[in-house]
Amino acid sequence: MPKTVIVGVSGGIAAYKSAYLVSALTKRGYDVHVIMTQNALEFVSALTFETISGNAAITDTFMKRENHDVLHVSLAKKADMVIVAPATANVLGKVASGIADDMLTTTLLASKCPVVFAPAMNTAMYEDAVTQSNITKLNELGYHVMDTGIGMLACRDEGAGRMKEPDEIIAFADSVFESLYDMHGINVLISAGPTREAIDPVRYLSNNSSGKMGYSLAQAAVSRGANVTLVSGPVSLDAPEKAQMINVVSAQSMEQAMTHHAKNADIIISCAAVADYTPANVSDTKIKKNDDMSLRLIRTKDILKILGEAKTENQILVGFAAETNDFDKYAKAKLESKNLDIIALNDVSRPGEGFGADTNNIKLFFKDNSEADLGVDSKEILAKSIINSIFEYRLKTTR
């Protein structure tokens, strides 16, 4: 369920009912932030919402802030859901047209989370072709516009346009949330990027992994509501929003982080390119130039094998195999030997794909002997398909 909910209140008579809505959401333990339009202030005071929600009601885009963050952007990023109730004909029209001229509409444009509108207006306004066309457009754009109730309106007219009751709005928002965030409550642990094995204070052994595949997987799982922990080697990528980041450098620190966080994970995806070898001795001082030099390497711990051995009954363990030949054979052998549930085979023989590239070529092999060829695509699209396959396999196989 959402943690942070923005309730947008616009200027209609039904604004008084939003006090109950905010109260009910707050009682559920949500962090509720109310944004009111200037016209909503004609109907209900900001103080009512501030007292019920325990947070300042925001009414002005240019409000002075102590910490100088851009409030409509920071709130939009923090929000798990926005509910606009009542949504006036005016607000529906503005959002459908991309107008952002006050705090509510600006925040709506900046939000990536699900948005629910509970329209409320006079029947003639609601049935007007422009309003209906705005509602159709909003639904097509991915917003969730509720129907209205039919009955006696505040203006004494009888017909459609009555705002749904707060409990119905909450039930609708719950159903939207559950359908979009079907991985809510699932703990996903992902490793990504390369490791660096120190030779001396300035040199190291590493590889070409960019981390893009692992970061895309983390983003895809976050987008479906999973609690994602991303253990990352050194990469130059932005952390996915709402993922818990654990930054590591060496294979040893990656192993420690992965085994520690694996204990609470429902799904573990090992996507990092971990060094197989590390220098036997690390020099404390910079090694001076010689005519020749040899470096003795020792094996690092096999993280995937350790995770496979420690795997609990309902845990799904997913590995990646980057191969250049005998693809299916090597992938299936690794699935078996590491006690994996799924292995993602990555054909790295094709130029421009795989390591460091934006595209990849993935085939999945499952423990139940099924296979899924996901083909060549961008890492973002493949990540969504991989996460979907893992989730469906988990539904099928765990109790």
Ligand X SMILES: Cc1cc2nc3c(=O)[nH]c(=O)nc-3n(C[C@H](O)[C@H](O)[C@H](O)COP(=O)(O)O)c2cc1C
What residues make contact with ligand X under the rule CB under 6 A?
10-14, 37, 39-40, 86, 88-91, 120-121, 125
Residue 280: burial class (beta carbons within 10 Å; 0-12, 13-18, 19+)? exposed
Q: How far is the CB of 133 from ligand X (least distance, A)?
A: 15
Can you say how many angstroms the Cα of residue 245 is from the centroid of all Cα atoms in its chain?
A: 13
Start-to-end Cα distance in the chain: 22
Return the number of the residue (11 or 225) whose C-beta is nearest ligand X.
Answer: 11
Count of beta carbons in the 10 Å neighbourhood of residue 380 = 16
Q: How far is the CB of 312 from ligand X (least distance, A)?
A: 52
Return the number of the residue (90 or 210) whose C-beta is nearest ligand X.
Answer: 90
Is 271 annotated in the active site?
Answer: no
Return the number of the residue (108 or 243) whose C-beta is nearest ligand X.
Answer: 108
Q: Which residue is nearest to ligand X (CB)?
A: 12
Return the number of the residue (2 or 11) whose C-beta is nearest ligand X.
Answer: 11
Kindly state the DSSP code that residue 340 receives in the 8-state scheme: -
Q: Contact 334/302 with Cβ under 8 angstroms?
A: no
Q: How far is the CB of 62 from ligand X (least distance, A)?
A: 16
CA distance 393 to 71: 41
Place of tokens 């009912």: 17
Buried-exposed string 169-200: b where 16+ CB fall within 10 A, e elsewhere: bbebbeebbeebbebeebbbbbbbbbbbbebe
Catalytic residue among 155, 202, 245, 333: 155
Q: Is 168 helix (H, G, I), strand (E, B) or coil?
A: helix
Q: How far is the CB of 73 from ligand X (least distance, A)?
A: 20
Residue 153: C-alpha distances to residues 43, 130, 159 (Å): 16, 20, 7
Q: How far is the CB of 308 from ligand X (least distance, A)?
A: 57
Return the number of the residue (121 or 231) whose C-beta is nearest ligand X.
Answer: 121
Question: Which residue numbers are catalytic?
Answer: 155
